[in-house]
Amino acid sequence: MSGTRNQCAMPTHIPNYGPIEPFMGAHKAAEGSAKLFASLDAALDALGAHSGMTVSFHHHFREGDLIVNMVLEALARRGLRDLSLAPSSLSSVHAPLIDFIKDGTIRRIRTSGLRGPLADAISAGLMDEPILIQSHGGRARAIDGGELVIDLAVLGVPSCDERGNASGAFGRSACGSLGYAMVDARNAKKVLLLSEEIVPYPLAPASIRQDYVDAIVAIDSVGDPSGIGKGATRMTRDPRELLIAGNAAAAISAAGVIRQGFSLQTGSGGASLAVVRFLREMMVERGVKASFALGGITSQLVRLLEEGLVGALFDVQSFDLDAARSLASNPGHREMDASYYANPGLKGCAVDALDVVVLSAMEVDLELNVNVITGSDGVIRGASGGHCDTAAGAALTVVVAPLLRGRLPSVVDRVTTIVTPGESVDLLVTDRGIAVNPRRPELAESLRGAGLPVRDIDWLKRLAESYTGIPRPLEFDDRAIALVEYRDGTIIDLIRRPKGLSR
Partner 1 sequence: MKLRRSMLYVPGNAPSMLRDAHIYGPDSLMFDLEDAVSPREKDAARHLVFRALKDYDYEGVERVVRINGLDTPHGLEDIAAVVAGGVDAVRLPKTDGPEDIAEVERAVEAAEKRFKREPGSVKLIAAIETARGILAVKEIASASPRLIAIAIGAEDFVTDMHTSRSADGVELLTARSLLVMAARAAGIMALDTVYSSLGDEEGFIRELRLAKQLGFDGKSVIHPSQIALTHAVFMPSADELAKARRIVAAAAEAEAKGSGVVALDGKMIDKPIVERALRALALAGEASS
Partner 2 sequence: MEIVREDSAGTAESGDARVTVRPNPNGGLALELRGPSCERYGQDIRLVALSTLAALGVADAMVSVEEKGALDATIQARLAAACGRAAGVGSPPWEALL
| Minimum distance from residue 377 beta carbon to partner 2 (Å) | 5
Contacted entry of partner 1, partner 2, none for residue 432, CB cut-off 5 to 8 Å set by kind? partner 1
| Subset of residues 234 to 293 that bind partner 1, contact rule: CB under 8 A | 239-240, 242-243
Q: Is the peptide bond before 22 cis (omega within 30 degrees of 0)?
A: no
* Contact pattern from residue 416 through residue 435 relative to partner 1, giving x for each residue in contact according to CB under 8 A and a dash for the rest: ---------------xx---
405 lines the binding site for partner 2 (CB under 8 A): yes
* Contact pattern from residue 459 through residue 498 relative to partner 2, giving x for each residue in contact according to CB under 8 A and a dash for the rest: --------xxx-xx-x------------------------
| Minimum distance from residue 358 beta carbon to partner 2 (Å) | 24
Q: Which of 280, 250, 276, 257 is nearest to 450 (CA)?
A: 250
Name residue 131's amino acid. Answer: I
Closer Cβ to partner 1, 149 or 243, answer by number: 243
Binds partner 1 (CB under 8 A): choice among 204, 466, 472, 473: 466
| Subset of residues 38 to 77 that bind partner 1, contact rule: CB under 8 A | none
Name residue 42's amino acid. Answer: A
Burial of 224 (0-12, 13-18, 19+ CB in 10 A): middle
Closer Cβ to partner 2, 407 or 439, answer by number: 407
CA distance 3 to 304: 62
CA angle 62, 231, 91 (to 5 degrees): 10
Q: Which of 158, 257, 231, 238 is nearest to 199 (CA)?
A: 158
Contacted entry of partner 1, partner 2, none for residue 242, CB cut-off 5 to 8 Å set by kind? partner 1
Closer Cβ to partner 2, 23 or 467, answer by number: 467
- Say if CB 479 and CB 496 are below 8 A apart: yes
Which helix (H) or strand (E) is 143 found in, with range?
helix 136-144
Binds partner 1 (CB under 8 A): choice among 467, 475, 491, 503: 467
| Minimum distance from residue 112 beta carbon to partner 2 (Å) | 25
Question: What would you report as the CA-atom Rg of the chain, rounded to the nearest whole angstrom?
Answer: 25
Closer Cβ to partner 2, 231 or 500, answer by number: 500
Phi-psi region of 412 (alpha: psi -120 to 50; beta: other; left: phi over 0): beta
CA distance 163 to 216: 8
| Cα 304 to Cα 170, 300, 397, 398, 465, distances in angstroms | 23, 7, 21, 20, 39
The residues pairing with 292 across neighbouring beta strands, listed in sequence order, are 263, 312
* Contact pattern from residue 338 through residue 377 relative to partner 2, giving x for each residue in contact according to CB under 8 A and a dash for the rest: --------------------------------------xx
Closer Cβ to partner 2, 211 or 238, answer by number: 238
Binds partner 2 (CB under 8 A): choice among 408, 463, 480, 494: 408
Contacted entry of partner 2, partner 1, none for residue 86, CB cut-off 5 to 8 Å set by kind? none
Q: Which residues bind partner 2 (CB under 8 A)?
A: 376-377, 405-408, 467-469, 471-472, 474
Which stretches of the chain bind partner 1, using CB under 8 A?
239-240, 242-243, 404, 431-432, 466-467
